[in-house]
Amino acid sequence: MSVADIKEELHKAIDGIDNKELLQAMLVILSQGKRSYQLTDEQLQVVKEREEQYLSGENKAQTLDEFREKMNKKYGL
């Protein structure tokens, strides 16, 4: 899929969303791509701790399909 195709799909998907909170969240995410962002030492430590918990099996992860189903139920996507 080309960049143009991806943009077209995003436009179609966004046009079909009427949930204000979801659109605002998407706007925040998309605006983050315009600037460089670095994690603080504290944030990096949290990421490392959660990675260790995941690798040890203490925390479970979701499959992409599980995540999509959850978002579909919550936001109607």
CA atoms within 13 A on the CB side of 7: 3
Domain extents for the chain?
3-75
pTM of the model: 0.38
pLDDT number for residue 36: 63
Alpha helix locations (H) across 1-77?
A: 3-15, 20-32, 41-56, 64-75
Residues 62-71, mean pLDDT to the nearest whole number = 89
pLDDT digits (tens, 9 = 90+) for 21-49: 998 988 888 887 666 667 889 999 999 99
Q: Can you give the pLDDT at residue 43? A: 93
